[in-house]
C-alpha cells in the first residue's frame, strides 16, 4: 500500500446524511471477481440519467468538480452493506479521502484497510466546509495525516481522530495482514487452549 | 471477585489472542468464518499473490446465495444459472474452496442456502462463538449469544490467512424490550420500531444486547430476525443471552456438539449471560405492549411507522437534514406527507431474505394465505432461506398453499433482497418486502420498497394493497 502523509486536493460535496453503500455502488456491480470496472458504478443512480448519459446536475459531474480527490458527505456515510466494493469504487474513481461528521463502522474499517482516508470532523466545521465549496466549487483542502488535521480554505486547522495503529499503517504503508501474520506464535498458543470447537469439514 | 461482565465482554475476553495496547488494536480470534461468492474472490486472489494457505479450513464454510438465481429446477433437477457474471463468480468460489480445502454447500445441494440461514440450521452457529462473514447481516448469528459481525473483503483475507482480526473493543448498549406483543405483531415489528425510534446511525460503535421479557418470549428464529437488523440500527453486532430456548434449538443439529460434548458445552453456555450489575455504555428501550405492525414509507429502514399511522410531514422532522431526507424519500416513493399508507396499491410481495425466510416465517405467511388468493396483478415471490427450509415447508404442504394462492414457490437464495440476481422489482413498482433494506434501488433500479413483517407482506399479497394484518387473522 502506498504511504499517505498529506493529501492536497479539490473537494466535492454530497451534503446528504446516511448515504448507504447501495448508493455508493449498487449490487449489480458486485458480480466481479476482481476490482475492475467498479468506478463506473460509483453513485450510479445519481451519476447517470436513465438513458445512461451523465447527469449534468450531479455534483461529481459538474465541470468544476473534475479531478476532485476529496469527497465531503453527510453524517453516517457508508451505512448498510459491508461491501468493500464501495471504498474500492471511490478509490478507483480517484478519491483519496472522504470527510464526514460520522461514518458507519464497517465502511470506516474497510476504507482504512485500503488507504482511502475516512476523516471525521465536527458538525460545525463540516458546515463551514460546505459553505466554502458552495462559494467556490474549486475549493482545495489539505489533510495532514501525521498531525491529524484538516486545513480549511483560509488556513484554520481542524483536528480529526484516527486510531494510532491505522495512522501508523497508512503513513508508513504498513500492511495489516503482514502484522497479523507476525502474531503466529500467539495465535498458535491461543488455539492450544481455546475451548470453542467446531469442525466444518465433518458433521458430528 | 472479578467485576460483573456483560455477555459481549465475556465472549470478547474469551477470544483475545493479544490485548489492545496504546499502539495496536486487539488480535481477536474467530471461531467460525462463513464465506460466499460475492465478497470472497478478491480475498483468495490476495492469498494466492502472497503464497498463503487458509489457516483453518475446518473453521471456514462456503455457500452460494447472493448472485444465484432462485428459478425452479430444470428437467435434470438443476437450477439453471444464465448470467455469465454469476456463473463466473460461482465457478470462482468452487475453485477457491476446492483449492484451499473448504467445505462448500453447492447451489441446489441439500445444505445450500442463505449464509445466515444455514449457519444456525446446521448447528455451526453456537453460543459464545465469534463469527464473521463478508456480509453485514452476520449480526443474525448473535441471536445465539455469539459475537457475530460483518467484515469487508480485506478482513475476509485476514481471517482466511490467520483466523484473526484486528479490532478495537466496541461499546455496549442494552436494548430493553419489555411487555407482551399483541396478536399480529412480531419480531420484525420490534426491530423496525426500534430503528424508527433510534435511527439508522443510533447504534454506531456499539454492540446491542437485546433483553427484557419480550425478547425472552421469542423463538430462536424470531431472535434471529431482530439480531439480523442490528446493522440497520448502525450497531456493530446484536446479541441475545442464550437460554433453554437456545440450547433446545442447537441440540441435535448436524455440526453441533453431541452427547456428553453437548452437555459440557451447555454448561459453558450457561455462564455466558450478562452478570447481575454488569454495566452497559448505553441503554435503549421499547415497549412491546403497545406495538403495532410496522411498515416503512421511505428510503432507509428508520423511516418506519405503525401501519395505521400517516406518513410523517416535514413539520414532524427535527432538523433540516431530516426534512431534506424526508422530501427526497417521499419523492422517490411517490407518497404524500400526512396521508396513510393503508390501502395503497402494491405490485410485488417478496417473502424471503436472511431476515425472514425461515420455516416459522413461511408458516406465518401460509396460515394467512391458506384458502385465499393473491390479488389480481400482484406478483408474489416466496423464497425459502435454504434448501432444508424448502424441504421442510414442502413436507408441511406450505408450498401447496402458496402455489394454490397464486404465489411463486422458488429455490433458496438472497433473491429480490438486493437486486444482484434475476429477482428484481421493476422500476417505479411498489414491493412489500420481508427483507431488511429499502434503500433507493436496493431491489432493482427505481424499485420502491416497503419493509414489513412476513405477516404484513402476506396480507398485502391477498388484498393487493397495504393492509393491517390484524384485520385478517382469527
For residue B232, name the pLDDT band (cuts at 50, 70, 90). very high
- Residue B194 is placed in which grid cell? 426500534
Report how many helices (DSSP H) and strands (DSSP E) chain B contains, helices first: 15, 19
Flag if A190 and B17 touch (Cβ within 8 Å). Answer: yes
pLDDT at B1: 55
Percent of chain B with pLDDT over 90: 99
Q: What CATH class has A6-193?
A: alpha beta
Q: Is residue B378 domain-shared with residue B413, that is, in the same domain?
A: yes
One domain for residues B12 and B114: yes
- B268 and B339 inside one domain: no
Residue with cell 416535514: B314
Are B149 and B182 contained in the same domain? no
B125 and B27 inside one domain = yes
Q: Are B123 and B186 within one domain?
A: no
Per-residue pLDDT of B302-352, as tens digits, reads: 999 999 999 999 999 999 999 999 999 999 999 999 999 999 999 999 999
In this structure, is residue B1 part of a structural domain? no
Contact B257 A83 (CB under 8 A): no
Residues in chain A with pLDDT < 70?
none
Whole-number percent of chain B with pLDDT over 70: 100
What is the C-alpha separation between B113 and B118, in angstroms, rounded? 6
DSSP three-state, residue B449: strand
Element (H, E) at B373: none
Distance set, CA A9 to CA A140, A173, B136, B348, B423 (Å): 5, 20, 32, 46, 41
Taking CA–CA distances from A103, the nearest residue in chain B reads B204
pLDDT at residue A196 in the model: 82
With CA atoms as reference, the chain A residue closest to B68 would be A31
Would you say A130 and A13 are in contact if contact means Cβ atoms under 8 Å apart?
yes
Beta bridge partners of B372: none
Residues B383 and B426 in one domain: yes
- Is the Cβ pair B38, A183 closer than 8 Å? no
| Listed residues B167, B185, B203: the one ending a domain | B167
Of A109, A163, A203, the CB nearest to B255: A203
Torsion angle of C-alpha atoms B397, B402, B403, B406, degrees rounded to 10: 160
The reply to whether B159 and B202 lie within a common domain is no
Q: Do both B158 and B213 map to the same domain?
A: no
Average pLDDT over residues B24-29: 98
Domain residue ranges of chain A, discontinuous segments joined by +: 6-193
In a domain, B2, yes or no: no
Q: Tell whether B57 lies on the interface with A, counting CB pairs under 8 A.
A: yes
pLDDT band at B62 (very low <50, low <70, confident <90, very high): very high
Same domain assignment for residues B15 and B90: yes
Supply the ipTM of this predicted assembly.
0.97
- Decide if B254 is inside a domain: no
What order of strands is seen across the sheet that includes strand A70-73? A117-120, A97-100, A70-73, A6-14, A140-144, A149-151, A157-159
- The residue of chain A with its CA nearest to that of B199 is A18
Q: What is the DSSP string of A129-177?
A: HHHHHHH-TT-EEEEETTTTEEE-TTS-EEE----HHHHHHHHHT--HH
| B229 found inside a domain | yes
> Which residues, in sequence order, are CB contacts of B110 under 8 Å at separation 6+?
B387, B388, B391
Query: Is A196 close to B83, i.e. CB distance below 8 A?
Result: no
Total domains in chain B come to 3
Rounded mean pLDDT of B111-118?
A: 98
Measured at the CA of B197, the angle between CA B331 and CA B326, to 5 degrees, comes to 15
Cβ pairs A/B, distance under 8 A = 217
pLDDT of residue A195: 83
| Mean pLDDT, residues B427-454 taken together | 98
Reading the block at residue A120, the C-alpha cell is: 471525521
Domain limit, last residue, from B132, B167, B202: B167
Q: Is the residue at B303 inside a domain?
A: yes
**Alpha-carbon gap, residue A43 to B237, rounded angstroms:** 27
Strands (E), B220-289: 237-240, 282-287
Instruction: Establish if B192 belongs to a structural domain.
Output: yes
Last residue of a domain, one of B167, B182, B205: B167
The residue-averaged pLDDT of B196-225 equals: 98
Residue-range definition of the domain harbouring residue B162: 7-167
**Which residues numbered 140-199 in B keep a CB inside 8 Å of some CB on A?**
150-155, 157-158, 161-166, 168, 170
- To the nearest 10 degrees (0 to 180), the angle between helices B153-162 and A105-114 is 70
Chain A stretch 93-152, residues whose beta carbon is closer than 8 A to a beta carbon of chain B: 102, 104-106, 109-110, 113-114
* Strands, sheet with B206-211, edge to edge from the N-terminal-most edge strand: B237-240, B206-211, B171-178, B282-287
A45 to chain B nearest CA, in Å?
8
CATH number at residue B110: 3.30.499.10
Mean pLDDT of chain B: 97
Q: Residue B253 domain-assigned? A: no
Q: What is the pLDDT of residues B362-420, one digit of tens each?
A: 999 999 999 999 999 999 999 999 999 999 999 999 999 999 999 999 999 999 999 99
Query: Residue B217: enclosing H or E segment and its boundaries?
Result: none
Residue B254 contacts residue A204 (beta carbons within 8 Å): yes
- CA–CA separation, A200 and B58 (whole Å): 5
Whether residues B232 and B218 fall in one domain: yes
Give yes or no: residues B324 and B432 share one domain.
yes
The three grid cell numbers given for residue B196, joined into one nine-digit string:
424508527
Q: Indicate the angle between helix axes B84-100 and B41-50, nearest 10 degrees.
A: 40
Amino acid at each position: 500500500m502506498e504511504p499517505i502523509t498529506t493529501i492536497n486536493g479539490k473537494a466535492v460535496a454530497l451534503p446528504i446524511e446516511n448515504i448507504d453503500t447501495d448508493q455508493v455502488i449498487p449490487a449489480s456491480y458486485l458480480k466481479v471477481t476482481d476490482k475492475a470496472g467498479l468506478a463506473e458504478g460509483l453513485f450510479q443512480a445519481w451519476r447517470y440519467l436513465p438513458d445512461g448519459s451523465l447527469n449534468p446536475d450531479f455534483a461529481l459531474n459538474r465541470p468544476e468538480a473534475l479531478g476532485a480527490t476529496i469527497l465531503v458527505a453527510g453524517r453516517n456515510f457508508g451505512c448498510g452493506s459491508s461491501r468493500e466494493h464501495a471504498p474500492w469504487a471511490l478509490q478507483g474513481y480517484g478519491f483519496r479521502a472522504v470527510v464526514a461528521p460520522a461514518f458507519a463502522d464497517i465502511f470506516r474499517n474497510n476504507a482504512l484497510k485500503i488507504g482511502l482516508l475516512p476523516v471525521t470532523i465536527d458538525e460545525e466545521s463540516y458546515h463551514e466546509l460546505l459553505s466554502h465549496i458552495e462559494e467556490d466549487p474549486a475549493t482545495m483542502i489539505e489533510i495532514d495525516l501525521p498531525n491529524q488535521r484538516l486545513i480549511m480554505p483560509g488556513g484554520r486547522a481542524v483536528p480529526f481522530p484516527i486510531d494510532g495503529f491505522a495512522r501508523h499503517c497508512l503513513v508508513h504503508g504498513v500492511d495489516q495482514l503482514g502484522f497479523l501474520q507476525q502474531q503466529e506464535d500467539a495465535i498458535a498458543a491461543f488455539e492450544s487452549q481455546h475451548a470453542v470447537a467446531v469442525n466444518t469439514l465433518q458433521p458430528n | 471477585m472479578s467485576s460483573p461482565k456483560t455477555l459481549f465482554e465475556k465472549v470478547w475476553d474469551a477470544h483475545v489472542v493479544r490485548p489492545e495496547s496504546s499502539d495496536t488494536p486487539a488480535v481477536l480470534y474467530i471461531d467460525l468464518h462463513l464465506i460466499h461468492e460475492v465478497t470472497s474472490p478478491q480475498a483468495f486472489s490476495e492469498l494466492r499473490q502472497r503464497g498463503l494457505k487458509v489457516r483453518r479450513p475446518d473453521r471456514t464454510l462456503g455457500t452460494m446465495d447472493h448472485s444465484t438465481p432462485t428459478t425452479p429446477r430444470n428437467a435434470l433437477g438443476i437450477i439453471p444459472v444464465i448470467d455469465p457474471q454469476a456463473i463466473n463468480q460461482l465457478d470462482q468460489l468452487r475453485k477457491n474452496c476446492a483449492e484451499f480445502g473448504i467445505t462448500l454447500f453447492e447451489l441446489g445441494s441439500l445444505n445450500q442456502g442463505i449464509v445466515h440461514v444455514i449457519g444456525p440450521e446446521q448447528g455451526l452457529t453456537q453460543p459464545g462463538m465469534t463469527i464473521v462473514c463478508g456480509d453485514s447481516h452476520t449480526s443474525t448469528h448473535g441471536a445465539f449469544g455469539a459475537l457475530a459481525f460483518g467484515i469487508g473483503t480485506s478482513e475476509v483475507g485476514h481471517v482466511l490467512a490467520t483466523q484473526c482480526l484486528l479490532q478495537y473493543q466496541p461499546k455496549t448498549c442494552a436494548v430493553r424490550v419489555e411487555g407482551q406483543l399483541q396478536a399480529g405483531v412480531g419480531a420484525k415489528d420490534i426491530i423496525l420500531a426500534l430503528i424508527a425510534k433510534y435511527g439508522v446511525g443510533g447504534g454506531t460503535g456499539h454492540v446491542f444486547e437485546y433483553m427484557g421479557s419480550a425478547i425472552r418470549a421469542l423463538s430462536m428464529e424470531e431472535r434471529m430476525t431482530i439480531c439480523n437488523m442490528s446493522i440497520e440500527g448502525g450497531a456493530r453486532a446484536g446479541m441475545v443471552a442464550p437460554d433453554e430456548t437456545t440450547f433446545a434449538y442447537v441440540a441435535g443439529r448436524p455440526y453441533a456438539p453431541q452427547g456428553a460434548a453437548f452437555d459440557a458445552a451447555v454448561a459453558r453456555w450457561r455462564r455466558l449471560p450478562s452478570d447481575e450489575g454488569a454495566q452497559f455504555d448505553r441503554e435503549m428501550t421499547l415497549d412491546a405492549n403497545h406495538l403495532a405492525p410496522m411498515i416503512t414509507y421511505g428510503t432507509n429502514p428508520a423511516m418506519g411507522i405503525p401501519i395505521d399511522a400517516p406518513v410523517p410531514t416535514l413539520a414532524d422532522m427535527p432538523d433540516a437534514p431530516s426534512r431534506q431526507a424526508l422530501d427526497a424519500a417521499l419523492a422517490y416513493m411517490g407518497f404524500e406527507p400526512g396521508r396513510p399508507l393503508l390501502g395503497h396499491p402494491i405490485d410485488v410481495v417478496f417473502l424471503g431474505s436472511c431476515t425472514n425466510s425461515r420455516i416459522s416465517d413461511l408458516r406465518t405467511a401460509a396460515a394467512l394465505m391458506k384458502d385465499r388468493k393473491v390479488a389480481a396483478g400482484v406478483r408474489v415471490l416466496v423464497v425459502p432461506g435454504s434448501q432444508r427450509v424448502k424441504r421442510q415447508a414442502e413436507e408441511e404442504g406450505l408450498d401447496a398453499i402458496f402455489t394454490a394462492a397464486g404465489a411463486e414457490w422458488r429455490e433458496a437464495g438472497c433473491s429480490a433482497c438486493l437486486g444482484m440476481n434475476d429477482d428484481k422489482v421493476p422500476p417505479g413498482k411498489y414491493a412489500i418486502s420481508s427483507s431488511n433494506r429499502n434503500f433507493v434501488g436496493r431491489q432493482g433500479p427505481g424499485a420502491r420498497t416497503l419493509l414489513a413483517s412476513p405477516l404484513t407482506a402476506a396480507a398485502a399479497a391477498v388484498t393487493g394493497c397495504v393492509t393491517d394484518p390484524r384485520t385478517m387473522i382469527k
